[in-house]
A and B are shown apart, each in its own frame.
Chain A
């Protein structure tokens, strides 16, 4: 591909389709070429280079750098996907997704949030929440529009906004306030060009959730400023202390919210790639205008699996959540004993401790922990500049493995202290 391009450029300069457009030095669109390399991707390369096998001391890599459950998808879900293939369910589904699945989604969302959507035209099955987010941004954002979101945040937010020629506006959240989003900060970040408020609670990587007061204030702000709200609630079913609040259930929110949820995290179905968007009819219609051309539909066997998960997966889902809760308790206690301050995550499956006290940057910390103790954690700056000084430790691993990881972390920190004293 690379060679052919070079040759064709050498033989004849590529004619520009639009002579009025300014010249560029690559076949790649400038806004794509300008996308930063994902910090996760960079760290992945580092881990891959280090290998996962045992080192000279026989220690294998323990990865707390994963963004997915360590559980396999429940067998009844996998079995149903196989059965759907055996029955020959291999064709397209309707653009919006299989109707029985949309109906089950509408029931589930109503049970969880108290807000009801019409499966006929207010629910869209997507290829994971990632596609839902892409559709929502493409449907809501015009070039130059601003999208406000909280940071540290999921790695794709700023790039996804840039891809629709919008302007990403990150509002930092701090451990001092438990990584809660301050509505006053959001208000200050808003300008007349602000169109979308993008929320992710429970939050990857901080584990923060929405409290009632913040949800109310953000809802009022969205109404006053006439903002669309995109609620990325992929971790909604994974809250540990009390049921998570959804901005959706606040007054005035149903009309202006695109709710994005999915099956990846709470049902341990990342590889199936099924998510969904719920929104008022005219918004789902807008998302579907793009979806019908760009994707047609989510994979049919994966949709069958998702339907099975909603129909019979409740007990398994709750059992996994209970496991995460115990692991959360273990990891936060262990981090506290190690002297790494950590906001107790109320949801998702990540701890986001501060490593600022070690004097290392988050990248140095992660690279040295990997090299010296074969434990992988994600440098906090991968989640935006305000993540610097932190690392993300997923507790989607068995307790014995987490224990071993915390033990190695203790050795690593002791080594750092010895090094400093010298």
Chain B
């Protein structure tokens, strides 16, 4: 992978000046490359990774297995793209195995998520059944483990 992308995956806030020094190029070159990667859709966006238990805001998250009848010619794509448009839906994957789509859904309340499943999702043409699993606690998100942080244990000076 492009080392620039690797560095951004570590920390998307890294400034172009710092990136340039690490990559042995100029800040202008880094900015140009970033614009290109954003335009061609390689970089889809930049988001903060939050620990929900510390934001002070209640969120209800669920994983939903969806079984579908594929359409002639379109397969699952058309309906999957329609599902992906809902704001409640944070991720959609086509899966192998006993169900077809896996959704990550978020809402403010249990009622909101239940309403989404019953009224929006289950009623879509082609959707034959859904199975909703509510998330109780996160231990790792987007590659970041959520764990109590202790003070640094390393010696400040070592040979």
A residues at B contact (CB < 8 Å): 38, 40, 43-44, 47-48, 52, 61, 63, 65-68, 70, 154-156, 322, 326-327, 329-330, 333-334, 376, 378, 398-400, 403
Contact = CB atoms under 8 A, between A and B. Distances in A.
Contacts of A330: 18, 21-22
Nearest 5 A/B pairs, CB to CB: A44-B157, A326-B22, A65-B157, A67-B158, A333-B21
A66 B158 contact: yes
A329 B156 contact: no
Given A326-B7, A399-B14, A68 B158 contact: yes
A66 B14 contact: no
A403 B19 CA distance: 11
Interface of B: 3, 6-7, 10-11, 14-15, 18, 21-24, 152, 154-159
B159 A67 contact: yes
Contacts of B11: 398-400
Contact of A63 (B7, B14, B15, B157): B157
A48 to B, nearest CB: 7
Contacts, number: 66
Contacts of B158: 40, 44, 65-68
A38 B159 CA distance: 9
25 contacts: A38-B159, A40-B157, A44-B155, A44-B156, A47-B157, A48-B156, A52-B152, A52-B156, A61-B156, A63-B157, A65-B158, A326-B22, A326-B23, A327-B22, A329-B21, A329-B22, A329-B24, A330-B21, A376-B157, A378-B157, A398-B11, A400-B11, A400-B14, A403-B15, A403-B18
A38 B157 CA distance: 12
B96 to A, nearest CB: 25
Nearest to B151: A52
Contacts of A67: 158-159
A399 B157 contact: no
A23 to B, nearest CB: 35
Given A44-B155, A66-B158, A326-B22, 9 more contacts: A38-B159, A44-B158, A47-B156, A63-B154, A65-B158, A68-B158, A326-B23, A329-B23, A403-B18
Nearest to A61: B156
A329 B7 CA distance: 13
B139 to A, nearest CB: 13
A404 to B, nearest CB: 10
Nearest to A394: B158
Contact of B3 (A70, A326, A399): A326
A321 to B, nearest CB: 13
Contacts of B154: 63, 66, 68, 70
A399 B156 contact: no
A229 to B, nearest CB: 23
Contacts of B15: 403
B30 to A, nearest CB: 13
B18 A399 contact: yes
Contacts of B157: 40, 43-44, 47, 63, 65-66, 376, 378
A187 B18 CA distance: 44
A243 to B, nearest CB: 19
Contacts of A334: 21
Contacts of B156: 44, 47-48, 52, 61, 63, 65-66, 376
Contacts of B10: 399
B59 to A, nearest CB: 28
Contacts of B21: 329-330, 333-334
B7 to A, nearest CB: 7
A47 B154 CA distance: 13
A36 B99 CA distance: 71
A326 B100 CA distance: 42
Contacts of B22: 326-327, 329-330, 399
A287 B157 CA distance: 31
A155 B159 contact: yes
Given A327-B22, A329-B22, A330-B22, A399 B7 contact: yes
Nearest to A383: B159
Contacts of B23: 326, 329
Question: By CB atoms of chain B within 10 A, which of A155, A326, A329, A403 has the most?
Answer: A326
A322 B14 CA distance: 17
A200 to B, nearest CB: 12
Contacts of B24: 329, 333
Nearest to A402: B18
Contacts of B18: 330, 399-400, 403
